[in-house]
Chains A and B, each alone.
Chain A
Amino acid sequence: MMNYFKMAYRNLGRHRRRTFLSTLALAMGTALLMFIAAFFQGEMRSSMETTLRLNTGHLQVKNANYDPDKLSVAWEYLIENPEQVAAQIEALGQVQSATPRLLASGIVSASDESVGVQIMGIVPDSSANDPYRDGLVSGDFLTADDREGIVIGYPLAESLGLNVGDQLNLLVNTSEGNVDEQKFTVRGIFSTGTTSYDKGVVFLPLAKAQSFSGATNHASMIFILLKDREQADVVAAAIQGEGYKVETWRELNELLVLVNDFSNAYLTIINLIILGVTATVIVNTLLMSVFERTREIGILSAIGMKGRQIIALFLAEATLLALSGITFGSLIGWALSAYFSKVGVYFGDLGMSKDMLLNDRIYTELTLDSAINLIVTAFIITIIASLYPARMASRMEPVEALHGAQ
C-alpha cells in the first residue's frame, strides 16, 4: 500500500509543472464550488428570512374572504376587533408576537412627484415591527396616538427628496370605494436593507390608518411570528375559527419554498458540471502518464504485477492529486466564504417582487455539512474518472508495452 503511494508520489514529481497545473485545476474547481455553495446557501437563507420577517411572518389570520391582490379595506374583507383576536393568539405559548395590520393602497406625493405605495397600519409597540424600528436611519418611530405622523422607507424619501420633519400628501382608497387625502409629517425614515421592500411601503399607527381609510375597528390581518417557524402547522390548527383563514409561511411563500427546493437541484447540476471539467483535467494528466509509461507498465507486468495492482498504482496517483487539489481548493473556498460572510456581496435592488425579498447585500454561508458533502463528492468523482486511464494501463499486454521500447 505504502509503496503504491511512494511510487505515485515520485511519478507525480517527474512532471512537476503538469502535476502543479492539474492540482491547481482541481483546487480552483473545488474553491469555486465551495464559494457557489456558500453563496447559494446565504442567498436562500437571506431571502427566506427577509421575506418572512418583512413580508409574510410565520402565520397570518385573515378574513376568509380576504383577497391579497386587491388591498381592499371594504369591511367584508377584514377582521373585526383585531386587537382582541391578536391578544388571544399572543397568549399561545409558541407565539412570539401577534399584531394587527391594516393594508391599504395609496399614493404619496411631495413637490411634483407621486408614487404608489402600500399603506400599512401597525401597532407601533409590537416587536413584530422591530425590523423597521431598528432600521431607522433618521428620526423616530411612530407612537400609537400619533395622528399626523408617518414613517417611510429610505429609497422613497430619497426619490421624493423628503427629510424628517417634511410634509407629504397621502391619498388612500377608502372602505366605501372613494379616495381621501391628508398631509402627514415624516417622523422617521427606515431602511431594512432590502430596497425593493423599503421603496413601496409607508407606516401609520393602526388607529390613524383605520380612521383615515374608513376601516374603523377592522384590520386586514393578524401578523404572527412564532418562536420556531416549524411549529406553524401546529399553531395554525390551534387558531382555526369561523370566518377566518389561517395561512402558514409555507402557504404564503409557495414560490419561495419551491425556489428553495429547486436551488438544491440546480446546485447539484452546477457541481457536476464543474467537477466534470476538473475530472477531465485529471483524466488527461493520467492518460498522458499512462502513454509515457507504457514501457514501465510492461516491465512491471513482466515481473509479475497484476492488472489490479497496476490500477492501484494509477489510482494512488489520482488520490494524491485529488487530496492535494481538494485540500488546497477547500482552504481557498473556505477563506473566500468566510470573508464574504462578514463583508457580504453587494447586489443592490434586484427588483425582486414582494414574494421573494432579498437583502441588498448577500452574505455567504458555508455549512460544515455542505463543505463535507462537496469534498467527498469531488474526491469520489475524481477517483471514478481516474478509473478509465488506470484500467487502460492495466490492460496493456506486456509484450506490446515492451515492444514500443525496442
Chain B
Amino acid sequence: MEVAKLTDVTRVYKIGELETRALNGVSITINDGEFTSLVGPSGSGKTTLLQLIGCLDQPTSGKVIINGKETTNLNRNQRADLRKEAIGFVFQFFALIPTLTAYENVEMPLLLNGKSPAERKQRVMELLAAVDVANRAHHRPDQLSGGQQQRIAVARALATNPKLILADEPTANLDTENGKQVMDLMQKLNKETGVTFVFATHDPRVISYANRVVTLQDGLITNDSKA
C-alpha cells in the first residue's frame, strides 16, 4: 500500500529576487513498511522533500498524496489534523518541548488526539520502555543526554501509531554510540510494528540500515535503489 505518493513535485523558495529551486520535478512513492534513506549532499533538497511529504510545507507545483488523500488543497487546520493523525516527526535537533518532562513530551500528541488519561498513561509508559528511557520519565530535556532526548523524540513520533515517520538527519548531532542506538531502535520498530520510516542522512553508517536508498542531487532524484 502507498503511504505517500508525490507526483512531479517542485518547490521554489523565493527570497526577494532570488529564486532557489530546492526540488525540480520529483516523483516518488513510499510504500507501507519501507525503511527508506534519502541521501545526497547538503543543499540537494532532502529536508525540503521531507517537509513536503510531512505536509509541513506545500509544493510550488505537483501533487502530494498521503494515505490515498490529496493534500494540496488542504487548509492549515486540515494539514495540522493530517499530521496529528498520520505522521510522526524526528528532527535533527532534539525537538522536545523544554518545559515538559520526557513523559509529558510523549503524551503531547496523545493529548492533541483526545485520548483518555488512562490510555495516555499506558501508551506513554509503553513507549518510554520501548525506547529505554522509562527511568527518566519525569526528567526535563535539559537533564537528559542527546541520545536519550532523540529516543524520546522517536517515542513521541510513534505515540499515535502513525503509518509514517519522517526523520531529518536524526543522528547528525549524536556520537557514534548514541547514533547507533537510535538507528537500532528505529529499525527494530520498523521490523516489529511495520511502521514506515523515511530518513534523510549523509552518514554512510546510517545508510547501511536502509532497505531503500533514494539519492537526491540538485533537487532531482538521481538514483532509487532497493536493497
Contact = CB atoms under 8 A, between A and B. Distances in A.
A10 interface: yes
B123 interface: no
A347 B80 CA distance: 63
Contacts of A179: none
If over half of A's interface residues share one DSSP class (helix, strand or loop), that class is named, otherwise mixed; here it is: helix
A302 B83 CA distance: 7
Contact of B108 (A14, A303, A399): A303
A299 B85 contact: no
Interface in A120-172: none
Contacts of B54: 302
A355 B56 CA distance: 72
Interface stretch (B32-40, B65-73, B95-103, B213-221): B95-103
Interface string B74-99: 00110011011100110111011111
Interface string A379-406: 0000000000000000001110010011
A299 B80 contact: no
A295 B141 CA distance: 15
Given A303-B89, A303-B109, A7 B99 contact: yes
A304 B80 contact: yes
A300 B89 CA distance: 11
A296 to B, nearest CB: 6
Contacts of A111: none
A296 B109 CA distance: 14
Contacts, number: 68
A337 interface: no
Given A304-B81, A304-B85, A406-B92, A3 B111 contact: yes
A304 B111 CA distance: 10
Contact of B51 (A295, A306, A399): A399
Contact of A299 (B77, B95, B112): B95
A296 B76 contact: no
A305 B80 contact: yes
A399 B50 CA distance: 11
B80 A306 contact: yes
A303 B112 contact: yes
Contacts of A296: 97-98
Interface in A6-65: 7, 10-11, 13-14
Report the 7 A-B pairs with minimum CB-CB distance, sorted nearest first. A304-B84, A10-B99, A399-B57, A398-B56, A299-B95, A304-B83, A306-B80
Interface of B: 47, 51, 54, 56-57, 76-77, 80-81, 83-85, 88-89, 91-93, 95-100, 108-109, 111-113, 156
21 contacts: A14-B98, A14-B99, A295-B93, A299-B96, A301-B80, A302-B56, A303-B88, A303-B89, A303-B109, A304-B81, A304-B84, A304-B85, A304-B109, A304-B113, A305-B112, A306-B76, A307-B77, A307-B80, A309-B112, A398-B57, A405-B95
